[in-house]
Amino acid sequence: MALTSKLPNSGTSIFAVMSGLARETGAINLSQGFPNFDCPEELKQLVYHYMQKGHNQYAPMPGIPLLRERLMEKYHRLYGCGLDPVEEITITAGATQAIFTSIMAFVHPGDEVIIFEPAYDSYVPAIRLCGATPVAYKMAPPKYNIDWEEVRRLITPKTRLIIINTPHNPSGQVLTEEDLGQLRTIARANDLLFIFDEVYEHLIYDDIPHYSALRYSDLYSKSIVIYSFGKTYHNTGWKMGYAIAPPKLTKEIRKVHQFNVFSVNTPTQFALADYLLNEDWYRDLPSFYQEKRDAFLDILSHTRFTPIPCQGTYFQLASYAAISDEGDLAFAERITREFGVACIPVSAFYMDKSDYKVVRFCFAKTRDVLEAAGERLSLI
């Protein structure tokens, strides 16, 4: 039987490749984005508590009501928005599933979807699986800024969706209030939708505010806003996220959600509903991760790498142009094998593999791991 691939140019994710190489060589893994420290003990005990109470069967398809109500309360506190937990919040099996489901719900063959590169690597395959065309606005180091007039020129009658990621992975940049104003103008002038990937909402530094799409009713009316419990609570392996959208959009999202996942881990939903009452946890996250970012910047200052400013996420980009003229994939593989530190080549986040001699390090690690990595990087 002849098989025709729907993603003929897609191979194994660069994150899986570099993490696999780290395991093979015994390198310190600063490539894939996950902490090497555990989630809150109380949260783990809550999951066990609800398992013991018998909450082990299917949850309601949109998520348990209490969790959605607690999320409604959280975002009212943070952004002053009034959400309907019944019709606007859907619990998903991680943020990536929420992104995939949302793209599938609204994008049709022949449509165009604007993304901002370097871009999280799940966007483009999902767009192509819909028979649509990803259209890239290319950002470049060191500022990774956006010319909104240029973005407007990318919009055509075929544009169905614009995907925004703030704080931005991998650049670490955070959109400003002025940027959101530009997006609101675009929303008013065009018949299109937005996905806001805000999974790093609490990982923003130097007292920079997070301008969520939820702050602006006119923009939110055309938006799906996506979040991750895994990024907030140090438990990426739990694969828990959620999508917030107006009722007419949520209705379409759930049509897809019910057939590709249906419902999400039941005892974990109950546990998260309880733990959301601990507001101090997510309010303290910026300072928790800023300390790690600053420590890693100090570590890099003793190497030949040139750090690129990071305002958010738990990723630090660094230029190696002063070290080597190798392509970034070759450089990343070589330092993993020869110096024992794994990172991600940023060309992997561009469709055309643009190579700016920049690599990405994850600093969501304990201090001893970061210092050990720094000792090795100083030898390059």
pLDDT tens digits along 213-259: 999 999 999 999 999 999 999 999 999 999 999 999 999 999 999 99
Task: Write out pLDDT tens, residues 312-328.
Answer: 999 999 999 999 999 99
With 80 as the cut, is the pLDDT of residue 1 above it? no
**pTM across the whole model:** 0.96
Task: Write out pLDDT tens, residues 21-75.
Answer: 999 999 999 999 999 999 999 999 999 999 999 999 999 999 999 999 999 999 9
3-state SS string for the chain = CCCCCCCCCCCCCHHHHHHHHHHHHCCEECCCCCCCCCCCHHHHHHHHHHHHCCCCCCCCCCCCHHHHHHHHHHHHHHHCCCCCCCCCEEEECCHHHHHHHHHHHHCCCCCEEEEEECCCCCHHHHHHHCCCEEEEEECCCCCCCCCHHHHHHHCCCCEEEEEEECCCCCCCCCCCHHHHHHHHHHHHHCCCEEEEECCCCCCECCCCCCCCHHHCHHHHCCEEEEEEHHHHHCCHHHCCEEEECCHHHHHHHHHHHHHHCCCCCHHHHHHHHHHCCCHHHHHHHHHHHHHHHHHHHHHHCCCCCEECCCCECCEEEEECCCCCCCCHHHHHHHHHHHHCEECEEHHHHCCCCCCCCEEEEECCCCHHHHHHHHHHHCCC
Task: Write out pLDDT tens, residues 157-196.
Answer: 999 999 999 999 999 999 999 999 999 999 999 999 999 9
Domains and CATH numbers, the chain: 14-39+280-377 (3.90.1150.10), 42-278 (3.40.640.10)
Q: What is the mean pLDDT of the chain?
A: 97
Residue percentage of the chain with pLDDT more than 90: 96
* pLDDT-derived band at 198, boundaries 50, 70, 90: very high
With 90 as the cut, is the pLDDT of residue 361 above it? yes
Task: Write out pLDDT tens, residues 84-108.
Answer: 999 999 999 999 999 999 999 999 9
**What pLDDT shows up at residue 8?**
87
